[in-house]
Amino acid sequence: MRERAQCVERLDQFKKIEGLHSDTEAALELAKESGDEDFVAEATSLMKELEAAVSGLEFKCKMNGEFDSQSAIIEINAGSGGTEAQDWGDMLLRMYLRWCERKRFRTEIMDYQPGEGAGIKNATVLVEGPYAYGNLRNESGVHRLVRISPFDSNARRHTSFASVSVTPDIEEEIQVDINEADLRIDTYRSSGAGGQHVNKTDSAVRITHIPSGIIVACQSERSQHKNKARALKILKSKLYELGQEEQRDKIDQLKGQRKKIDFGSQIRNYVMQPYQLVKDLRSDYETSDVHAVLDGELDPIIESCLLKTD
């Protein structure tokens, strides 16, 4: 049913573009014959609408990966730097939650580890909506912030880092074999708000996959069993993505290409001092409206990254 809905949506887009094309041609012809300014204005308006529709369809065509239409799981981890980095992690979490509100995507915070003084150590968010993963997959990487620290009494400029990892919320039909002996499962008390239940039971679950070192956690459910099931699902998604990444790395090596993917290679800079600039280092997209970006205005950056992809 989901695939059918996606096909119907794509067909509707084609029909809309076809209709706009016909209307634009007719308006241009009338404007040419009559010279009437009203027809010229109508033709101009229709051309802008047609251009926007074609651009939107081109953007959607870039999301043709195996899991691009799926929901997504965002994991944010603060870098080294204590309170400053943890506050930056919290700013990123707010940025993505605000973007999801704009897109009318449903979000659920599955794990949340607050920082000692402010911000977060890490957080995991489930984003449910059409093409959530396709939109967010290029957000994976290191995000760098430069600003005057509100936690520095001397008002000095600080640089902070946080890493973002995005994986698809893979459906059950994707089979990933996991050996139970390779797992270390820990339970602990949830750290978020939730009433007396949170304070009295070890319902939160953290699973460590020993061979890969991948750690996932979930504390959004009241039941320990439900949290374990959801954490295992996230682990399967991460292991599947890891396998896909290893295959891509092998292909790159055969082609003579080497890509460095680690915590020191940022994908985007957010500069608040001494000037205002957000720059994506892959698509070279720039904007001086840093506050709008941090308030969830991410669509132009996301589109620039997807359209840059061959």
Instruction: State the average pLDDT for the chain.
Output: 84
Q: Are residues 23 and 113 in the same domain?
A: no
Domains of the chain: total: 3
Task: Kindly list the distances between the CA atom of residue 15 and the CA atoms of 5, 8, 21, 68, in Å, as whole numbers in the listed order.
Answer: 15, 10, 10, 23
Q: Are residues 48 and 196 in the same domain?
A: no
Q: Are residues 146 and 122 in the same domain?
A: yes
Q: Are residues 235 and 279 in the same domain?
A: no
**How far apart are alpha carbons 177 and 293 in whole angstroms?**
40
Structure tokens belonging to residue 274: 């001494």
Beta bridge partners of 215: 208
10 Å Cβ neighbour count for 227?
24
Q: What are the pLDDT digits (tens) for 160-171?
A: 999 999 998 876
Q: What are the pLDDT digits (tens) for 104-144?
A: 999 999 999 998 888 999 999 999 988 899 999 999 999 99
**Domain of residue 292, residue span:** 72-171+260-308
Q: Are residues 107 and 55 in the same domain?
A: no
Residue indicated by tokens 């989901």: 2
Q: Which of 236, 254, 272 is the last residue of a domain?
A: 254
Residue 257: predicted pLDDT: 42
For position 156, which CATH number holds?
Answer: 3.30.70.1660
- Assess contact for 218 and 204: CB atoms under 8 A: yes
66 part of a folded domain: no
- Assess contact for 55 and 122: CB atoms under 8 A: no
300-310 exposure pattern, b = at least 16 Cβ within 10 A, e = fewer: bbbbbbbeeee
Q: Are residues 167 and 267 in the same domain?
A: yes
235 part of a folded domain: yes
In terms of pLDDT, which residue wins out, 191 or 242?
Answer: 242
Cα–chain center distance at 236: 19
Q: 0.85 cut: is pTM over it?
A: no
